[in-house]
Chains A and B, each alone.
Chain A
Amino acid sequence: MGYYDEVLSKIKDFPFDAFLKEVTTRDVLSSLDREHLNAEDFLRLLSPAAANVMEEMAKRAYALTVRNFGRVVLLFTPLYLADFCDNYCLYCGFSARNPFPRRKLTLDEVEAEAKVIAQTELKHILILTGESRQETPPSYIADCVEVLKRYFSSISIEVYPLTVEEYGFLVSQGVDGLTIYQEVYDEETYAYVHPAGPKRDYHFRLDAPERGCRAGMRTVTVGPLLGLAPWQREVFFAALHADYLQRKYPWVEVSLSFPRLRPHLGNFMPEFPVDDRSFVQIIVASRLFLPRVGITVSTREKAEFRDHLPPLGVTKMSAWSSTEVGGRLNPHKTPPQFEISDERKVEEIKVSLYGRGYQPVFKDWHML
């Protein structure tokens, strides 16, 4: 039993479109007045009618966020270790279909990148690889962690799905966080955008966050890649996934993230683009449904837009990102996984947050 059997299979065929169309502004306001929102209330907040009362939703989301998290935003940065990949995801620059010389960082290169990142005040790092058990097996990731431990107080992974034992091994090596996006919860779309490679296994990926929880991860982040399927459903399934994990593994800090598809090498265009207004609706609705859940926003979003998000519910942001392997020291050697939008340095983001009355937090865990 897992999220699919216990929750998703029961709701995936719900007539979402008909329901969302019928929701009235009044329904939304009555859901907003409830102290604890249930799944149906949450779905109402994702309706077109809710978009008309966004300011009301935002005010409540703001109050809840400040109360539960204060005026602080955790900053972290991604480090791409390798771009070898056996998958053919239509939306990704690292797709095996794209012919470019792949590379992975040597441990010396990992250390060099770590040093330059550590010169900023960043203490939380998120390491990424493509899916290649041959080139970047868990043992390689563990070796990198061993190096990074000397520079960072929290290390999270965003790699291909692993088994409980493998996650447990990485936890024992010093990893404390797991980010893994289902990309798309809709099964048909999932099969379409993942035409070949190990990622075709929908269920192995869907259950990965739960395996991470069981293996002792402290923080687990889930989410959909927005743009691949109608966002209301995708956001609903992702938030219920977070809710499921939080209830079943209450000691784990569960977070949500809603990356929007960005331009990348290849010519795939999102069929269901999400505009800024809808993106904000997603953030505030998620905050209201899950008051304690972390919400992450990456540098996929524009600087100016990102600056407005912490009061609405966002609690973590990436900073000074590079989506190329070793991109900070040797940029433009290989293509990026996708293009980033907020290219500000850590110092600039810091100044901007302070200017808006928010404290950037660089350290929120101390490796034990």
Chain B
Amino acid sequence: MKDTLIVGGLEMENRLIIGTGKFPNYRLMEEAIRRSGAQVVTIALRRIDFDSREENILNYIPKGCILMPNTSGARNADEAVRIARIARAAGCGNWVKIEVITDQRYLMPDNEETIKATRILAREGFAVFPYMNPDLIVAKRLKEAGAAAVMPLGSPIGSNRGLKTREMIKILINEIDLPIIVDAGIGRPSEAAEAMEMGAAAVLVNTAIATARDPVAMAQAFSLGVKAGRQAYLAGLAATKEFAEASSPLTGFLGR
């Protein structure tokens, strides 16, 4: 049976989402997306130059890719909402990744403003993908607000530190009935694999691919890591027992 992720009204086979910032040029970015087989890419609206002849990033997104414009640069819910509306009006579809960053030192997302923006945009018919600092209560509110998925950070954006928020992400995976897409901080394919083994629905990677010596090869490596992790999850890794299993049942003496 095909293992697909249905989210935001669309179907994804490849569970690696690629971020498009930080690449040395658009051709390399295009090649990385193509060779990884990624079907969803996120682009900052602030970087899309709709008027440009050669510098329009949209011309370098492989055909068939789903665009997930993001609200990078938004400092509050209102700005995120305005950015999302501009993106949709410009023909970028109705997906939006909400990024509200009110801290430029660590680029931490503002959960409160993110919830507000999610509520407004979901009501307007957007498929909303909020980037957030993993917190169960916030994730619940995002679900109530109409998010299509929840995107917790693995560690600070661009830090390549891996799944420092592992325990919190596990809780979201267990408790939130929405796809959990790990976004930010993943530095290695093995970490992407680990997120998928834990039951994440997808992962989003940018810095680790874009700043690798060979971004194309690294994108492929991440794609493989995501596939391996997903397959392991489906194969039953998720059933790993939290407690040791005694060789004979501890309660066997009770009979039936």
- The residues of A with any CB-CB pair to B shorter than 8 Å are 66-72, 121, 123, 153, 218, 246-247, 250-254, 292, 354, 357-366, 368
**Which 6 pairs between the two chains have the least Cβ-Cβ distance?**
A70-B22, A71-B24, A363-B49, A251-B75, A250-B103, A251-B102
Query: Given the interface contacts A252-B104, A253-B104, A368-B82, does A362 sit within 8 Å of B55 by beta carbon?
Result: yes
B26 within 8 A of A: yes
Q: Are B104 and A70 in contact (CB under 8 A)?
A: no
* Size bin of chain B's contact surface: 20 to 34
Q: Are B105 and A247 in contact (CB under 8 A)?
A: yes
Residues of A within 8 A of B159 (CB): 67
- The smallest C-beta distance from A293 to any residue of chain B, in angstroms, reads 8
Q: Which A residues are in CB contact (< 8 Å) with B54?
A: 121
Using A121-B49, A354-B25 as known contacts, list a sample of 10 further A-B pairs with CB atoms less than 8 Å apart, ordered by residue number in A: A70-B211, A71-B23, A71-B24, A153-B49, A359-B23, A361-B47, A362-B49, A363-B47, A365-B73, A366-B73
Across-interface contacts of A368 in B (CB, < 8 A) = 79, 82-83, 86
Whether A68 pairs with B158 at a CB distance below 8 angstroms is yes
CA distance A58 to B137 in the complex (A): 43
Contacts of A366 in B (CB 8 A): 45-46, 48, 73, 83, 86
- Write the nearest CB–CB distance from B140 to chain A, whole angstroms: 26
Query: Does the CB pair A70–B207 fall under 8 Å?
Result: yes
Task: List B159-208 residues whose CB lies under 8 Å from chain A.
Answer: 159-160, 207
Q: A154 CA to B105 CA in the complex, in Å? A: 22
B interface residues (Cβ-Cβ under 8 A, vs A): 21-26, 45-49, 52, 54-55, 73, 75, 79, 82-83, 86, 101-107, 158-160, 207, 210-211
Q: How far is the CA of A153 from the CA of B21 in the complex (A)?
A: 18
> Do B104 and A363 touch (CB < 8 A)?
no
Are B26 and A363 interface neighbours, CB within 8 A?
Answer: no
Q: Do A292 and B107 contact each other (CB < 8 Å), given the known contacts A71-B211, A361-B47?
A: yes
Q: Is the CB of A67 within 8 A of B102?
A: no
Contacts of B103 on A, CB cut-off 8 Å? 250-251
Judging by beta carbons under 8 Å apart, are A363 and B46 in contact? yes
Chain A residue nearest in CB terms to B45: A366
Quote the shortest CB–CB distance from B171 to chain A (angstroms). Answer: 27
A254 engages B104 (CB within 8 Å): yes
CB atoms of A72 and B22 under 8 A apart: yes
